[in-house]
Amino acid sequence: MGRSVILSASGVVFGYNGSGRAVLHGLSLAVPAGAVTAILGPNGSGKTTLLRLLLGILRPQAGEIYLAGRPLGSYSRRERGRLIGLVPQEEHIPFDFSVLEYVVLGRAPYLRPLQLPGEADRQAALDALRIVGLADLADRPLPTLSGGERQLAAVARALAQQPRVLLLDEPTAHLDLGNQNRLLTIIGELAAGGTALVLTTHDPNLAAVLADHTLLMRRGRALAAGPPAETLTAGLLSATYDAPVQVLRANGRQVILLDSHPRSAAL
């Protein structure tokens, strides 16, 4: 595709302390700029662990992770915060921040440790809110937003970091179809603007709609990697999820269905 790789992992091995068991076994991934990379796999396959490694929260026990040409570990916290943002699956915020106060927190990597955010930071936060379409809600308390709007506010908070890579953990897990559509449109626009997007999902249809690249994971290993046309096949998906999967085509793209008939089997 000719897009430059901004974030890459090669041969990454990781296991949590004490368990003595590896969660990831020699995993490799290349994330190009201006594209959407989807990490697919069943629950417990190591998707979130991989995301935490790419963010630098966890350090690989073997293998290397490179960000913009340098080892991830060589960046300072603030430098790294200006390059990679995170939208977690669900965020518990026990206090009633206004939407703007919350989004301004995304400016932290640009502030010295004791510096307070200034007008430029507020403007950057408002710009991020405009991108996700929440500028009118800037002064509203966060808890008064709907689930979908809160997720978009989390995206805006990450965009206020002006990152080159945006990691999203199960971004559509709690969203209805309307809000899914809103979020997917924003993700598509960000990719078109040059941001590298990495998202984890256990929904292959999301990857079929959105992704330029996919990584299929099972038990900490890569089963397949490549464009969705090559990886989202009945054989590979059945092996990934350990379930019968059928792949149809509609409007020129794959539609993935569970090929099981529990009611008829019971009869």
Nearer to another protein, 38 or 108 (CB): 108
Does 120 contact another protein by CB under 8 A? no
Nearer to another protein, 136 or 259 (CB): 136
Does 242 contact another protein by CB under 8 A? no
Span from 7-15, 66-74, 77-85, 202-210 in contact with another protein (CB under 8 A): 77-85
Q: Kindly state the smallest distance separating residue 224's Cβ from another protein, in Å.
A: 28
Does 56 contact another protein by CB under 8 A? yes
Site string (21-40) toward another protein, x via CB under 8 A: --------------------
Does 177 contact another protein by CB under 8 A? no
Q: Pick the binder of another protein from 11, 70, 74, 91 (CB under 8 A).
A: 91
- Spell out the SS3 assignment of the chain: CCCCEEEEEEEEEECCCCCCCCCEEEEEEEEECCCEEEEECCCCCCHHHHHHHHHCCCCCCEEEEEECCEEHHHCCHHHHHHHEEEECCCCCCCCCCEHHHHHHHHHHHHCCCCCCCCHHHHHHHHHHHHHHCCHHHCCCEHHHCCHHHHHHHHHHHHHCCCCCEEEEECCCCCCCHHHHHHHHHHHHHHHHCCCEEEEEECCHHHHHHHCCEEEEEECCEEEEEECHHHHCCHHHHHHHHCCCEEEEEECCEEEEEECCCHHHHHC
Q: Pick the binder of another protein from 3, 25, 52, 221 (CB under 8 A).
A: 52
Q: Do residues 106 and 125 touch, judged by C-beta distance below 8 A?
A: yes
Nearer to another protein, 21 or 92 (CB): 92
Nearer to another protein, 26 or 56 (CB): 56
Span from 9-17, 31-39, 79-87, 190-198 in contact with another protein (CB under 8 A): 79-87
Span from 93-101, 172-180, 187-195, 225-233 in contact with another protein (CB under 8 A): 93-101
Name residue 157's amino acid: R
Span from 64-72, 84-92, 211-219, 254-262 in contact with another protein (CB under 8 A): 84-92
